Structure 1
Amino acid sequence: MKNAQTVIDINERPSAGKLTTLSLQHMFAMFGATILVPQLVGLSPSIALLTSGIATLIFMFVTKFQVPAYLGSSFAFIIPIQMATEQGGIGSAMIGSLFVAIVYFIVALIIWKTGYKWIMKLLPPIVVAPVIIVIGLALSPVAINMAMNIPGTSEYSMLHFSAALVTLAAAVSATLFFKGIISLMPVLIGIIVGYVYSLAIGIVDFSSVLKAKWIASPDFLIPGISYDFTITPTLLVLMVPIAIVTISEHIGHQLVLGKIVNRNYIKEPGLHRSLLGDGLGTFISGLLGGPPKTTYGENIGVLAITRVYSVYVIGGAAILAIFFSFLGKVMALISTIPTAVLGGISILLFGIIASSGLRMLVDSNIDFGDKRNLVISSIILVIGIGGAKLHFTDTFVIEGMALAAIVGVLLNLLLPGKPQEAIDSTQEHVNN
């Protein structure tokens, strides 16, 4: 049912001029974060942009053009991709992405046949929130090293660190002191300001831009062509358990989005369809060489502010992203963003990831006077941040946040006492 304050509803099509402007707005809202992930893990920003557009169109088709959600690069997989790359090359990370997508398919199938309540019991906030905190804090050394050091070295540079601080200050200012669309694009604003400052202090190299063509194909990574298709147990346990977090994130986004547009997306088109769409987007992305996908909070924020919910606008943003990915000069310009600038924006982003885990605990009214909750969260945090490992064989190792996620689920299922289920808060959202 349409809200009284809705400007353009789900299936309404704006005029061509409005459609282009509103779609550009959505593209820029997701742009900074989507290109940051590939920069951090050694993938091509152009292929990340291309696959985000393709994944969004796939998601819209699977959800019967009822859900105005944009899919961008997932931050949850940064460390698993880095670790998988260290062990078997970037191809290993791409194969891992395919198996993450298969988990989505399986979960979507089970939800379709049995309903969604079981997954709320399996992934309550007391498990998911500490794992989210682990993801943010485990990434923090990456952000600090990028911000402080000369790229490719461990040598401290005040010049580079100043660029990181200017970037961070600009992003914080956009978040706190501006309203409307600007406040939803702190990553993009921070990168632009940091880039201009970096130009002024002379740490930007334009040689790649001069050599680049105006139109250029993204750097595809095709299994069996760009790399050998090899599956190892360690690869699977590095990547697959993180689906615990991203599936929970997906459910949360669907609930929030449903409240904004006054629809019940858990029931129609159904959680199974939205998860399947997310999984298919991630699968195609992995086949082409892009990072795993997730629905983007930035774009949900744009919907809330503009009250323009049209799927045509989201589809337009996806098409624009695909178009931009073939602009060789633009992609080369993106590659010249100094590491320090990316480090500065990462300080904020990775901190926000950790803080969102804390917020989930607060919003879910988790009682830490309950010893059961205290034990589960404590063990997850120390195992994840401490980098604990289980070596079964030389080629089968479970470690870090993957181990923390698995341990969290097992503790919640096995420890005595009544677990606090996510279904309570979910049902409240569904009923409102």
Structure 2
Amino acid sequence: MKNNNKAILDVHEKPKAAQWLTLSLQHLFAMFGATVLVPFLVGLHPGVALVSSGLATLAYLLVTKGQIPAYLGSSFAFITPIITVKALGGPEAAMVGSFLAGLVYGVVALFIKGFGFKWLMRILPPVVVGPVIIVIGLGLANVAVGMAMNNPATKEYSLTHFTVALFTLAVTIICSIFFRGILGIIPILIGIISGFTFAYFRGIVDFTKVAEARWIQAPEFMVPFVNYTPHFSWSIAAIMMPVAVVTISEHIGHQLVLSKVVGRNFIEKPGLHRSILGDGLGVMIGSMIGGPPVTTYGENIGVLAITRVYSVFVIGGAAVTAILFGFSGKVTALISTIPTAVMGGVSILLFGIIASSGLRMLVDNNIDFGNKRNLIISSVILVTGIGGAALKFNANFEIAGMALATMIGIFLNLVLPGKEKEQDLNSMFKAESKDNGTAA
């Protein structure tokens, strides 16, 4: 696999000491806005999310033998499942579900090691994955709009808050369209900073927590058998585990794009089974300390493409810096002071992009909706997923929302006649190479 852009720093090259921190901070800033947004939405501690992101990335680099320069940040695909599971059994249940999702990665990695990955593509063709990704984005639409419009204190409409949200949204869009280079990779971060500043002048920012926080302060970890006793539930498993199947398919897409950017075939060496195992291990590490599930980030692939700095030492430096940030009480307190309206404004764009990326997958793979088979599969996935359909077997076991939609989509794809010719893997994910957007 050739790469026409010669690397400034190749995968195993160390940067000079003076450059190392700057290059690592670029990757940290690229993932920062989206990674802290996930715990903000699901009610987890942002400091723990930063620590788990850093630890997960270091584990990923270890499992992949330091051959893949990829950063792992909070996954948007798990937002709705985490919220659902927390309603059933609290944050502890969400951590158990995240651990089970990580196990799915491990099982899939073993199957890929033994049988290759074409079987996975047969189970998850674009006609299934595309609509599920749309469900992930549109299923969060009410969350984003509610955060943007409502005063969190009264839960009622607030013109001030909505104005802040619209300002944040406008700045983020302008940065995405008109900024180039590194600034074009971090529109989320710029939007949050700009919206936060605007919100301060509108009088809805309170720095009391920042003033009271210590510079060095451990985040609020949730460690099993220390802070709580984990309990297995079939309902939790049914809600969380199917999501991993979708994020794994996106992981494959990221690996293909990353291979093109760096000029090495990471699918073959160190192997897709290793990268998926590393991703799953990262998810399990996060669940052991109270962090959200993680995934490879398109933003960080974009940084690699622009800077041509592919060094895993730079990625490792970003991971260590994220961990240090997580242990800074001032940093995590500052994150907690960001108004929900600011996050709501950013979320309107982010969740829309996720939904649009699912639509783009269908378009780029020439999915023919004149074909009744394709029309039926996508239609059922969309309505059951967005509508919140649920199978409730008893008080302790139900399959709902996106998880149910994914399972129904896989089933329909396997049993309905008239399956089209199997999609080429590179074709399925070619859209990702055009636009390394926010990782779902």
Distance in 2 of aligned mates of 1:195 and 1:234: 38
Structure 1 residue 116 corresponds to structure 2 residue 123 = no
Are 2:286 and 2:292, in contact at CA under 8 Å, matched by a contact in 1?
A: yes
Q: Secondary structure at the match of 2:374?
A: helix
Map of 1:13-162 to 2, 5 A cutoff?
Answer: 13-162=14-163
User: CA deviation digits over 1:232-254, x for unaligned, max 9?
Assistant: 11111111111121001100000
Match of 1:379 in 2: 380
Superposed displacement of residue 5, structure 1: 2.6
Q: Secondary structure at the match of 2:156?
A: coil
Unmatched 5+ residue regions in structure 1? Answer: none
Distance in 1 of aligned mates of 2:420 and 2:395: 36
Q: Secondary structure at the match of 1:397?
A: strand
Are 1:51 and 1:322, in contact at CA under 8 Å, matched by a contact in 2?
A: yes
Q: How many residues align?
A: 430
The sequence identity of aligned pairs, in percent, is 60
Are 1:121 and 1:423, in contact at CA under 8 Å, matched by a contact in 2?
A: no
Q: Secondary structure at the match of 2:398?
A: strand
- Letter in structure 1 aligned against 2:173: V
Match of 1:412 in 2: 413
- C-alpha distance 329-363 of structure 1, shift in aligned 2 (>3 A): same
Bigger mean CA offset, 82-91 vs 11-20: 11-20
Are 2:365 and 2:427, in contact at CA under 8 Å, matched by a contact in 1?
A: no
Map of 1:332-411 to 2, 5 A cutoff?
Answer: 332-411=333-412
Superposed displacement of residue 423, structure 1: 3.8
Match of 1:243 in 2: 244
Match of 1:219 in 2: 220
Match of 1:9 in 2: 10
Distance in 1 of aligned mates of 2:131 and 2:172: 26
Superposed displacement of residue 427, structure 1: 9.1
Superposed displacement of residue 209, structure 1: 1.0
User: CA deviation digits over 1:59-92, x for unaligned, max 9?
Assistant: 0111111100000000000010001001100000
Distance in 2 of aligned mates of 1:367 and 1:195: 44
Match of 1:204 in 2: 205
Match of 2:298 in 1: 297
Superposed displacement of residue 154, structure 1: 3.0
Distance in 1 of aligned mates of 2:180 and 2:207: 34
Distance in 1 of aligned mates of 2:50 and 2:367: 38
Superposed displacement of residue 224, structure 1: 2.2
- C-alpha distance 118-7 of structure 1, shift in aligned 2 (>3 A): same
Structure 1 residue 180 corresponds to structure 2 residue 181 = yes
Match of 1:425 in 2: 426
Superposed displacement of residue 395, structure 1: 1.6
User: CA deviation digits over 1:295-336, x for unaligned, max 9?
Assistant: 000000001111111111111111111111111111101110
Match of 1:259 in 2: 260
User: CA deviation digits over 1:75-119, x for unaligned, max 9?
Assistant: 000010001001100000000000000000000011111111111
Q: Secondary structure at the match of 2:285?
A: helix
Are 1:380 and 1:404, in contact at CA under 8 Å, matched by a contact in 2?
A: yes
Superposed displacement of residue 421, structure 1: 3.0
- Letter in structure 1 aligned against 2:331: V
Are 2:105 and 2:279, in contact at CA under 8 Å, matched by a contact in 1?
A: yes
Distance in 2 of aligned mates of 1:232 and 1:246: 22
Are 2:102 and 2:283, in contact at CA under 8 Å, matched by a contact in 1?
A: yes
- Letter in structure 2 aligned against 1:36: L
Are 1:124 and 1:420, in contact at CA under 8 Å, matched by a contact in 2?
A: no
Superposed displacement of residue 152, structure 1: 4.3
Distance in 1 of aligned mates of 2:173 and 2:388: 30
Superposed displacement of residue 4, structure 1: 4.7
Distance in 2 of aligned mates of 1:289 and 1:401: 23
TM-score by length of 1: 0.97
Distance in 2 of aligned mates of 1:365 and 1:83: 34
TM-score by length of 2: 0.95
Unmatched 5+ residue regions in structure 2? Answer: 434-440
Are 2:256 and 2:426, in contact at CA under 8 Å, matched by a contact in 1?
A: no
Are 1:126 and 1:420, in contact at CA under 8 Å, matched by a contact in 2?
A: no
Q: Secondary structure at the match of 2:361?
A: helix
Distance in 1 of aligned mates of 2:122 and 2:29: 36
Are 2:92 and 2:230, in contact at CA under 8 Å, matched by a contact in 1?
A: yes
Q: Secondary structure at the match of 1:143?
A: helix
User: CA deviation digits over 1:373-392, x for unaligned, max 9?
Assistant: 11100110011011111111
Are 1:238 and 1:399, in contact at CA under 8 Å, matched by a contact in 2?
A: yes
User: CA deviation digits over 1:149-195, x for unaligned, max 9?
Assistant: 01044310000111101110111011001111111111100000000
Distance in 2 of aligned mates of 1:7 and 1:81: 40
- Letter in structure 2 aligned against 1:25: Q
Distance in 1 of aligned mates of 2:73 and 2:407: 25
Bigger mean CA offset, 1-10 vs 357-366: 1-10
Match of 2:231 in 1: 230
Bigger mean CA offset, 132-141 vs 144-153: 144-153
Match of 2:318 in 1: 317
Q: Where does structure 1 differ by over 6 angstroms across 4 or more consecutive aligned residues?
A: none
Superposed displacement of residue 230, structure 1: 1.1
User: CA deviation digits over 1:269-301, x for unaligned, max 9?
Assistant: 111000000000110110011000100000000
Superposed displacement of residue 6, structure 1: 1.9
Superposed displacement of residue 428, structure 1: 9.6
